[in-house]
Amino acid sequence: MDPNELNSRKDRIFDLIVRYYIETAEPVGSRVLSRKTDLGLSPASIRNVMADLEEQGYLHQPHTSAGRVPTDQGYRYWVDYLMGEEQLTSEEKEAVLNEIERVRTVEALAERMSRLISEMTQNAAVVFLTHLKRVTFMNHLLEELVQAQRIAEFLEEEAGLFIDGTSRICGQPEFQDLRKLRALLAALDEKNQLLQHLLRELSSAGVRVRIGRENENGSLEEVSLVVKDCYVSGVPVGGVAVVGPTRMNYPKVCALVDFVADSVTTAVRRL
């Protein structure tokens, strides 16, 4: 068999496994894939490919008789190469923009956005924004401050952090495991540590996805973090993040975090 064809088959099967597991939270077996997809492969053929994927570190088998589930390494490969982009619907974008239109302060903006993101993703949402000492700037003044590298003089040392949706994420199947639940609650309770973890990545471009053990904070090893920065005149002043199980709907969450972070960046300029 052509090696490219073999790799393509592996990718196709792995993509289906990840998507099925994200949707159902149930380990995926070869018979399920054979029955519910159009792969045109026997369960035995699919098992062989799954065994290869397990050997590569992309899948693991929770129990001897169970199907397979993606590993952190597997999710990383899927996010980087297979998942593709998803767009928010016009209704979802309108919901975000309507909420933003109603706010008049940075605090209200952060509070409303964290609540809305949590409702839309069924995960925990975090919005962290440096409190501006002055909330009204003329554009030319901002530009002068940036050029003089003095923008920090107009920012508080500590950012305000708003978390919403702890109860929603605790309802996810993964956190029926008490060990994972305790780790999650510890991560969300230690707001200062979580904030510092998020602030360390400020100035990185675009949406970033940190999966399980990729998070430097040990209490975040059981979750994934999707985050994007917000800016004032090109200077990062905070960000928008979703904290959820590694089995999160990455395409949808990435699209939402991307849109909300950009919308918050625009809104902060007028507050």
> pLDDT digit string (tens) for 14-67?
999 999 999 999 999 998 888 877 778 888 999 999 999 999 999 999 877 778
The correct answer on CATH 1.10.3720.10 for the domain covering 3-82 is no
Where do the domains of the chain lie? 3-82, 90-268
Percent with pLDDT over 70 in the chain = 85
Question: Is there a common fold for 3-82 and 90-268?
Answer: no
The correct answer on CATH 2.120.10.30 for the domain covering 90-268 is no
Distance, CA of 236 to CA of 146 (rounded, Å): 11
At 156, is the pLDDT very low, low, confident or very high (cuts 50, 70, 90)?
very low
Q: What is the pLDDT of residues 176-203, one digit of tens each?
A: 888 888 888 887 888 878 877 787 777 6
Residue 199 has which token pair? 């602030």
**Strand order from edge to edge, sheet including 155-164:** 155-164, 124-132, 235-245, 223-232, 208-211
